[in-house]
Amino acid sequence: MTAEAILTHELDTPAPKRTQSDSAVLAATIRAAQSGDDAAFEDLMRLSERRVALLAWRILGDGEETKDAVQDVFLRVYRHLGRFDARHEFAGWLFRITVNVCRDLRKKRRKRAIFTPIDAADDVADAVQVDDDLATRRDVVLLTRAIDALPEKERLAVILRDIEELSTEQVASILGNSAATVRVQISKARVKLRQWIAEWRKGSGS
Amino acid sequence: MAKGIRIMKCERVREAIMLEATGEVTGAQRRAVAEHLAGCASCRAFDAVEVPMPFTSVRSNPPLSGTDYAGIRAAVMSTIAKERRIFPFAWRFAFGAAAAVLVVIIALVTWPRPHGDQQASRAPKPQPAIPTVAQAPSAAVAPKVPESAASEKDEGTELIHQGLPQQRAHRTHERPVMIAQARLDAATEVRMEFQTADPEIRIIWLSNTQAVSAR
């Protein structure tokens, strides 16, 4: 396993299935960074920057904002790394920081439209990677816009649960809510998404 | 009312349908949903809408290149280096600031404040008599002690030093002067009096020490 995949592996693999060496490499890098080793901190950034960028991009949906977010996240990580408790998951801690940084950025720059008609959103389509599992390119654009139009709490819950595919418990821990609250937020958000998609399909005749 | 209950039920059912996609409903909930769908065309239509889940294809690739990541790392390390250059000396700044605040407070307390009437007339006024007495804390009235009693002992009270406040008090721009110091109660309590240049301000300092056994 490459070093870069370790962090992704930590999030996507249940703790009992992780190999001892994966966790040991990450733990050793974190320990070295905590003791003030700059090279180790840079390694930690290399390990986690793409994961952080992906989450920030999904929350913010803007390339420049994503760059700012990644930079802010690692500055916060550096400043608070001494307080990180190695008994907890580093990825969860990192995601919590990322979500907080993105929330702050969104508060500062409330520029995104609440709702953009799907036809006007075609320019966004270039930034959206289309997967074979999705029926059409427009479906992805529609879904992206619909998720962006959700209320903030529901949006974050859906991004973490349905896009990042974290468990409800992990999402609850990152957002500082109970699992029951997250479950309600996710179910409400999914209902809205399905209704919007149904309405749009009905309207477009497809 | 019945319609309200039905709408409420539809909402709950639809939420359950959406949670089913990630296996987060119980067997009982699943059965209740199936029963509801059998009699509700609207929810059946809702259930029929295909939504690809999970939504992992949404923004699956951030528009950042390797150069962007390198730039971010360089910017972060540069900011960290700047912070490190400043913060090693932060405690010194903090100590200096605390010392400066302390000096200002002492100066404000002890600096002579000219009275309005003194400024107006500039005429020397007789200084009020300042009792230069070491007194036990329980003493209700301070007995006047003559200057010659500087080294006298009086029932557990030892007068160590007694100055001449009347001579010093009229001076301005002067540090507080210790006018009396005494040990009280078998040398465990000490009382000191300081006269500031302002005759109306006197600093009285009491300390009490307690013997601690070796054990």
- Residue-wise pLDDT for B18-28, tens only, equals 887 778 888 88
pLDDT value at B7 more than 70: no
**Is the pLDDT higher at A45 or at B143?**
A45
Q: In chain A, what residues touch B59 (CB-CB under 8 Å)?
A: 54, 57-58, 61, 127-129, 144, 163
pLDDT value at B39 more than 80: yes
Rounded to whole angstroms, the Cα distance separating A156 from A150 reads: 9
pLDDT value at A156 more than 80: yes
User: Shortest Cα distance from A141 to chain B (angstroms)?
Assistant: 8
A192 contacts chain B (CB < 8 A): no
User: Shortest Cα distance from A63 to chain B (angstroms)?
Assistant: 6
pLDDT value at A1 more than 70: no
User: Shortest Cα distance from B47 to chain A (angstroms)?
Assistant: 9
Mean pLDDT of A71-91: 90
- Residue-wise pLDDT for B94-122, tens only, equals 778 888 898 888 888 887 766 555 555 55
Mean pLDDT of B192-212: 78
ipTM: 0.75
Residue B61 has what pLDDT? 84
Q: In chain B, what residues touch A183 (CB-CB under 8 Å)?
A: 19, 24
A200, closest residue in chain B (CA to CA): B49
Residue A102 has what pLDDT? 93
Residue B147 has what pLDDT? 47
Residue A46 to residue B73, Cβ atoms within 8 A: yes
Q: Which token pair is A79?
A: 């400043």
**Radius of gyration of chain B measured on its C-alpha atoms:** 42
Structure pTM? Answer: 0.59
**Out of A163-167, B69-73, B162-166, which region has the weakest mean confidence (pLDDT)?**
B162-166
Residue type, A37: D
Residue B18 to residue A38, Cβ atoms within 8 A: no
Residue B76 has what pLDDT? 92
Q: In chain A, what residues touch B8 (CB-CB under 8 Å)?
A: none
Residue B3 has what pLDDT? 46
Residue A16 has what pLDDT? 45
A44, closest residue in chain B (CA to CA): B73
Q: How confident is the model at residue A195 (pLDDT cuts 50, 70, 90)?
A: confident
- Residue-wise pLDDT for A176-194, tens only, equals 999 999 999 998 998 898 8
pLDDT value at B74 more than 90: yes
Residue A38 to residue B80, Cβ atoms within 8 A: yes
**Minimal Cβ distance to A49: which of B69, B79, B80:** B69
**CA–CA distance from B103 to each of A200, B96, B98 (Å)?**
73, 11, 9
Nearby residues of A88 by Cβ (< 8 Å), 6 or more positions away: none
Q: In chain B, what residues touch A124 (CB-CB under 8 Å)?
A: none
Q: In chain B, what residues touch A162 (CB-CB under 8 Å)?
A: 22, 53-55
Length of chain B (residues): 215
- In the β-sheet with B189-195, what is the strand arrangement from edge to edge? B153-154, B157-162, B177-184, B189-195, B202-208
Mean pLDDT of A116-134: 46
Mean pLDDT of A146-166: 90
pLDDT value at A70 more than 90: yes
**Is the pLDDT higher at A12 or at B55?**
B55
In sequence order, the β-bridge partners of residue B207 are B190
pLDDT value at B184 more than 70: no
The residue behind tokens 């009396």 is B180
Residue B148 has what pLDDT? 45
